[in-house]
């Protein structure tokens, strides 16, 4: 995990098929990630997103929306 990624530990990931995910955006603060998640969910109703806290490359679930 790079230093710049460590500065932005909150990630919004797009859930894909076969238990895979794609990081859409990284954020420094949880509140910013929640606000961005709401925008994404309002713009694309049929796509699933989730907020995770990425610690040294190990993803821990924070919220499942």
pTM over 0.75: yes
Domain tally, the chain:
1
Instruction: Provide the pLDDT for residue 16.
Output: 94
Q: What is the pLDDT of residues 1-50, one digit of tens each?
A: 788 788 889 999 999 988 899 999 999 999 999 999 999 999 998 999 99
Instruction: Provide the pLDDT for residue 55.
Output: 82
The answer on pLDDT for 61 being more than 80 is no
Domain that holds residue 55: 3-64
Distance CA 15, CA 33 (A): 16
Tell me the CB-side half-sphere exposure of residue 49, using CA atoms within 13 A: 22
Tokens representing residue 51 in the block: 């907020």
Of 15, 56, 49, 11, which Cα lies nearest the Cα of 30? 11
Instruction: Provide the pLDDT for residue 59.
Output: 53
Which residue has better confidence, 37 or 64? Answer: 37
The count of other CB atoms within 10 Å of the CB of residue 7 is 9
Distance CA 27, CA 39 (A): 14
């Amino acid at each position: 995990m790079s230093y710049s990624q460590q500065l932005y530990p909150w990630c919004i990931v797009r859930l894909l098929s076969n238990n895979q995910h794609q990081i859409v955006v990284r954020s420094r603060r949880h509140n910013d990630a929640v606000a961005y998640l709401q925008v994404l969910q309002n713009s694309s109703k049929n796509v699933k997103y989730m907020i995770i806290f990425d610690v040294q490359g190990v993803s821990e679930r924070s919220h499942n929306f």
